[in-house]
Amino acid sequence: MTLSKTLFAAAVAAALPAAFAAQPRLQYEVSVTNLTAGQQFTPVLAVTHRPAIGLFELGAPAPDELRSLAEGGNTGPYTQLLTGDGSVSQVLTNPGLTDPGATATFTIMARPAHDRLSLAAMLIPTNDSFVALDSVDLPESFTEQVYYARAYDSGTETNDELCASIPGPYFVECNGSGGGAQVGNGEGFVHVSSGMHGHGDFSESLRDWRNPIAQVRIRRVR
């Protein structure tokens, strides 16, 4: 690049609003397939970010933002925390429930140095279990990268498996919607979910699972 072109590029960059100049330049299509037989995924939180940050730490107490997501499917607190963070390119929530066997597909942007993707969604019906990928590599080229995700328990709520404690629009075992009772007294740390055991209102044969519980396909499209 000649000096004049360099100066011109610098002048253009300087003339751009800061928010526009900071726009992400890479785009990815992400498809999340629910591999369980009897669990729905709540709206999926997805974030592209630098390697320095992540959503949670296995074996450690869950942050409040994870508690909201894992117990109630609420992605708002994480969105508020991550929006505007200099280590984050984009944070989004893909709306709607993802049924067993179904796939949720969305696109997400990332700046070049922000080469990680994290995502999470509550499993319903569970007390505080969620499906997640934490800080996986985005594909460098236009090839597709496939990951398999496990179910985790946020450790913030006892797994009483009762309709009153598990929110959701309709569960056959509840003959209607679930509730949002705050049970508390959780296991204390984020761990691999032990599944559904049938000691409450829900059927173990309908609702339990084995890992992995989701296939995540990431394809760079721009």
Binding stretches for Ca ion (CB under 5 A): 128, 153, 157, 159, 186
Select 128 or 161, whichever has its Cβ closest to Ca ion. 128
Select 26 or 155, whichever has its Cβ closest to Ca ion. 155
Nearest distance, CB of residue 35 and Ca ion, angstroms: 21
Token pair belonging to 67: 């508690």
User: Could you give the CA distance from residue 101 to residue 33 in angstroms, rounded to a whole number?
Assistant: 6
Select 39 or 90, whichever has its Cβ closest to Ca ion. 39
Strands, E assignment, the chain: 26-34, 40-41, 44-49, 88-94, 103-110, 116-124, 129-137, 144-153, 168-171, 176-178, 191-192, 214-220
Phi, psi of 163 (to 5 degrees): -55, -40
Contact between 216 and 31 under an 8 Å Cβ cutoff? The reply is yes
Nearest distance, CB of residue 126 and Ca ion, angstroms: 8
Select 70 or 108, whichever has its Cβ closest to Ca ion. 70
Token pair belonging to 24: 């992400």
Phi, psi of 176 (to 5 degrees): 155, -155
Select 48 or 155, whichever has its Cβ closest to Ca ion. 155
Nearest distance, CB of residue 183 and Ca ion, angstroms: 9
Nearest distance, CB of residue 40 and Ca ion, angstroms: 18
Select 42 or 159, whichever has its Cβ closest to Ca ion. 159
Nearest distance, CB of residue 166 and Ca ion, angstroms: 11
Contact between 53 and 115 under an 8 Å Cβ cutoff? The reply is no
Nearest distance, CB of residue 115 and Ca ion, angstroms: 32
Query: 200-211 burial by CB neighbour count: b if 16+ within 10 A, else e?
Result: bbbbeeebbbeb
Phi, psi of 46 (to 5 degrees): -135, 145
